[in-house]
A and B are shown apart, each in its own frame.
Chain A
């Protein structure tokens, strides 16, 4: 029997995509490790400096502050977004009329650009001519500083009740909290759609059986919906976490000047690395090291979530 000729066909079909992904994804990822170990600016490579960038990072106050700010963002955005989107998806799943209308309304922020949205929200939060303070005034409350307020939200909250709390327990600044509101608002529609798709996959017979057994709606939610929706919850949790760690545009457009203000309370990790790499110092190698640390954090959290998922997966 004649040996079949080697078939180049499949590789030929793969080639265009492969070249692009090789050159613009795989090589850069490998390159990022290399860059982080050398002195590197726009003019090119300099001396090998080993772990200097990483050591420097550990002593860089700005790095730690932006890391804390990023964690605040994730800790607030992820759970709130998850609960709200699951709530809306449940409401939407229960109605027939106007369902697609409401779905679209919630979804509009997702398709519109973060840049335009940030510009709009920045003015909404403007102290003098913004809508946020206009509403507060209408309901008889004092205007707030929003994006200009560097005090923590817990500090402000307890302060208004006359309780002094230490600065470290003050929570994210009101400025960062304004960013949190925008980030939740922007991603809510997407998460709702994902949840809605998940809910529609749950066979109705479970609910019918539960109805016969006389289980109430709340019990049905915790005994049927929540367990069966857990793969979707896992996905939403993971995606929202990953995306929130990479928040950039809202910070770049809404805060400052200088960006990340007031008092650096809205400086997040991706803006920090952008500033180091393409700002005045133009230190591409330090920026690369920061990016890799960010990657390690995201990877670590993803793996942690995967472990948790295995435990709760039904």
Chain B
């Protein structure tokens, strides 16, 4: 390894560190007690230096306000509940000073139960799965027509679709709201799912793939008496597994992370998807840094796990979005 390589790895490593520091900090902060954060321990250290007061076998953090000869006035902080308990006068002998590593995993449970995150997760999973299935069905049918059949208006419809891809979301956001309002769909699952079950990019991607399948295969199947649909089901789709996986992953990530649409189209707490729920939570718990970090952590966890499992496929699918048509 020469000098140049070392420099390259050094720069990549350093910048990689910068890229992940926000995540690392999110994780370390998520297992700190709020008291530590408020005290200004905001670095990466897990050491907690604190005065502990024990009462009935239960530990409280004590912030000494005024110290007398044998007793002190203290603020007591309930660790388990992650909140201030009371102001009290306690004997000095009941307070002990300690410095040790402490990880507050209970923050995750506290954050998760503070608002119905379970419900939010469920909503997001329902919406994302329906969207992905819908996108794959409408996408494969339409791409199959575009790629293998000849019909009147084919090019016109295709370019109409493609041009629609150029229109930014804010443009159709307001009229969509007007439309969904007329349909009585505001604040329903339909509003989150139905408008998204056809994806132009997916159609484009699958069409490219279907076109690569040799025509001879279709002809042979047709001679054998296969119907069009059977050819799609038995030949075209099995041959396109990896592109279909790409489209599915792409759709799932997009749906999971979408925020503005569900924010506008739903209102009731029962219909909040994860991103919307998280945004409300960030307002409610704005001063509880460690809980916010815990909530952020578990809300990005599913996608990070998916990413770790299928990183090659995911990166390839994002890279394919940059293909020139």
Identify the A interface with B (CB < 8 A): 7, 9-11, 13-18, 20-21, 23-29, 31-32, 35, 40, 42, 88, 91-92, 94-95, 98, 100, 102-117, 119-124, 126, 128-131, 134, 185, 188-190, 193-194, 196-198, 231-232, 235-236, 239, 242, 245-246, 248-249, 252-253, 270, 273-274, 277-278, 284, 287-288, 291-292, 294-295, 298-299, 302
Contact = CB atoms under 8 A, between A and B. Distances in A.
Given A111-B304, A129-B40, 18 more contacts: A9-B228, A10-B145, A24-B194, A25-B164, A31-B179, A35-B178, A91-B8, A91-B11, A102-B16, A112-B257, A112-B303, A115-B278, A119-B282, A119-B296, A134-B43, A197-B322, A291-B173, A292-B171
A21 B198 contact: yes
A284 B180 CA distance: 14
Given A91-B11, A95-B12, A294-B168, A31 B178 contact: yes
Interface of B: 5, 8-9, 11-12, 15-16, 19-23, 25-26, 29, 37-38, 40, 42-43, 137-139, 141-142, 144-146, 149-151, 154, 157, 160-161, 164, 166-179, 181, 194-195, 197-198, 200, 203, 228, 253, 256-257, 259-260, 264, 274-275, 278-279, 282, 289, 292-293, 295-296, 299-300, 303-304, 306-307, 311-312, 314-315, 318-319, 322, 324
A189 B12 CA distance: 13
Q: Could you say which of A20, A111, A188, A235 has the most chain B C-beta atoms within 10 Å of its C-beta?
A: A111
Contacts of A124: 22, 25
B259 A246 contact: no
B84 to A, nearest CB: 16
Q: Taking chain A's interface residues, is the majority helix, strand, or loop, or is none over half, making it mixed?
A: helix
A188 B138 CA distance: 32
A35 B175 contact: yes
A129 B142 contact: no
Contacts of A17: 138-139, 141-142, 161, 198, 203
A102 B259 contact: no
Contact of B259 (A112, A115, A273): A115
A106 B311 CA distance: 12
A108 B26 contact: no
A26 B164 contact: yes
Q: Taking chain B's interface residues, is the majority helix, strand, or loop, or is none over half, making it mixed?
A: helix
A295 B319 CA distance: 26
Contacts of B228: 9, 13
A178 B298 CA distance: 25
A53 to B, nearest CB: 12
Contacts of A295: 167-168, 170-171
Nearest to A120: B26
Nearest to B25: A131
A105 B145 CA distance: 39
Contacts of A253: 279, 282
Contacts, number: 258
Contact of A121 (B22, B161, B299, B324): B22
B171 A95 contact: no
B318 A190 contact: yes
Given A105-B16, A108-B19, A185-B19, A42 B181 contact: yes
B189 to A, nearest CB: 15
A190 B174 CA distance: 29
6 contacts: A40-B178, A108-B19, A108-B20, A122-B282, A123-B289, A193-B319
Nearest to A298: B168
B257 A113 contact: yes
Nearest to B308: A104
